[in-house]
Structure 1
Amino acid sequence: MVPVMDTALMVHGFAGTSGTWLPVTRLLEPKRYRAVIPDLRGHGQNSAVRPISFELCVDDLLAAAPPRFTIAGYSLGGRLALQAALKAPERIERLILISTTAGLEDPALRAQRLESDLLLAERLKRLAIGSFADQWLDGDLFRVDRPEVNLAARGEILKNRPGDLAAALSALSVGRMEPMWSRLGELAMPVDVVAGERDERYVEIAEQLAGSIGDAVLHVVPAGTHALPRSDPQALAAIL
């Protein structure tokens, strides 16, 4: 009898593509998992898909998956994975949240973040994609001190177009997102919350997430960065 494979729906972050997850999927047990890795609206092969909104992106994810599946989301993808789990909890076998948040509860902070993201989106429209990639990867949040890893990440960003990324950033800013902290207690499926040790702000958020979700398991990857699918694929594959 052929064993039934589990489906792992993997959701990339802002400015990534489905290729973000390739370092992880190469390490997964091939007979155990069938990886489904869609490009989000405004990214990769779905760069031109409009309109862009949280609700439509979540609907896309649910449409790409079978009736029951594991979902793993990184950064922006984690916020979307969380929303998918709250929208269709009966379909989620397991939820894995990586370097992500449940939103900003303070309205003033949301407004401030939205303003900042809209300014970045306007600047993005005027940049060549290569220039944006260099600036993005040189930021404290996404810097990985391994040239070969950064080269691969730059290649992923170059699969996108500046105007499309600007549209995605404007629509999917955490400043536009309804905070979900008050709903975390609804999650009854197994949940893993993951952050890199060097990503101190998100370690703190991960601790808050895990503490708010029943029996959630917290994983802090030693010496890990925010960009865990790139910097620490072995750790993520082991968690999966």
Structure 2
Amino acid sequence: MAPPTIVLLHGFTQSGRSWAETVAALGERYRALAPDLRGHGAAAALRPVTFGTIGADVLGLASAERAERFTLAGYSMGGRIALDLALRDGGAAQARIERLVLIGASPGIAGDGERAARRVADEALAQELERDGIEAFARRWAAQPLFADQPPAVAARAHAERLRASPAGLAASLRGVGTGAMEPLWERLGELTVPVALIVGERDAKFRAIAERMAVDIPDVTVHVVPGAGHAVQLERPEAVAALL
């Protein structure tokens, strides 16, 4: 019997290769599909970059690989895309999703004013990418408090991957699937009919709080806190994430 399929969606500035250590730790337990999402990696030039088009890409990939049902997992941006896909079109995709795994992810920004401010900030960052190029952006992105405690080896690998990214692709991603562009899904969490796992790093206080809030409204949910990890759990503790998967 063929192993079950898991589709892994990467975060902003990453690519499918960011899952390599997690996939290796999964071994033969799963058939892992880790695509490059629009605006990133080999898909950097694909347009438009929207939640709808990326969701269609994910379902199309699964169908092409003859995976009628699959586990869908996403980290950060990839988690937001996975959640949007699960709830899009009245939750139709949940007929194909066996489990939903969200790593360091959120349902978006609930407040209109805060969301509008984030759109302005995302647009400014997109323009910075287009104007100044990838190196200046990569340094600024790595300096966020969210990544402050990353182990040096992890930070170096993440920085190297950012330097391979396309400025135009990342700018399109910010405009199309940035947190400011996302319609908030907080009020729709109760529509999730599949088992949901929320994975967060012990040091990631912001997203631990978000996960705890999400868990209140999701019918079938477990929350997993990975000891010693920060926001990028799958980069810092790939074996632990694989074990949870």
Q: Under a length normalisation based on structure 2, what TM-score does the superposition of the two structures give? A: 0.93
1:177 maps to what in 2? Answer: 182
1:214 maps to what in 2? Answer: 219
Give, in angstroms, the shift of residue 144 of structure 1: 4.3
Work out the percentage of aligned pairs sharing the same amino acid: 44
2:139 maps to what in 1? Answer: 134
Going from structure 1 to structure 2, the CA distance change for 1:143 and 1:230 (only over 3 Å counts) comes to farther
CA RMSD of aligned residues (A): 1.3
Could you list the runs of 5+ residues in structure 2 that have no partner in the other structure? none
In the alignment, structure 1 residue 90 sits paired with structure 2 residue 84 = no
Q: Counterpart of 2:39 in 1: which secondary structure?
A: coil
In the alignment, structure 1 residue 76 sits paired with structure 2 residue 77 = yes
1:26 maps to what in 2? Answer: 24
2:8 maps to what in 1? Answer: 10
1:150 maps to what in 2? Answer: 155
Could you list the runs of 5+ residues in structure 1 that have no partner in the other structure? none
Q: Equivalents in 2 of 1:147, 1:106: separation in Å?
A: 35
Query: Is the CA contact (8 Å cut-off) linking 2:194 and 2:220 kept in structure 1?
Result: no
1:48 maps to what in 2? Answer: 45
Give, in angstroms, the shift of residue 213 of structure 1: 0.6
Instruction: Give per-residue Cα distances to partners, 1:113-154, cap 9 Å, x unaligned.
Output: 111111111111122323322221222112343222122112
Q: Which has the higher helix share?
A: 2
Instruction: Give per-residue Cα distances to partners, 1:186-207, cap 9 Å, x unaligned.
Output: 1111110011121111100011
Q: Equivalents in 2 of 1:167, 1:47: separation in Å?
A: 9
Query: Is the CA contact (8 Å cut-off) linking 1:144 and 1:150 kept in structure 2?
Result: no
Instruction: Give per-residue Cα distances to partners, 1:81-130, cap 9 Å, x unaligned.
Output: 11122231100001000101011111111101111111111111122323
Q: Counterpart of 1:194 in 2: which secondary structure?
A: strand
Query: Is the CA contact (8 Å cut-off) linking 1:194 and 1:220 kept in structure 2?
Result: yes
Q: Equivalents in 2 of 1:71, 1:138: separation in Å?
A: 30
Q: Equivalents in 2 of 1:146, 1:185: separation in Å?
A: 36
Give, as a single letter, the amino acid of the residue that structure 2 aligns with 1:143: A
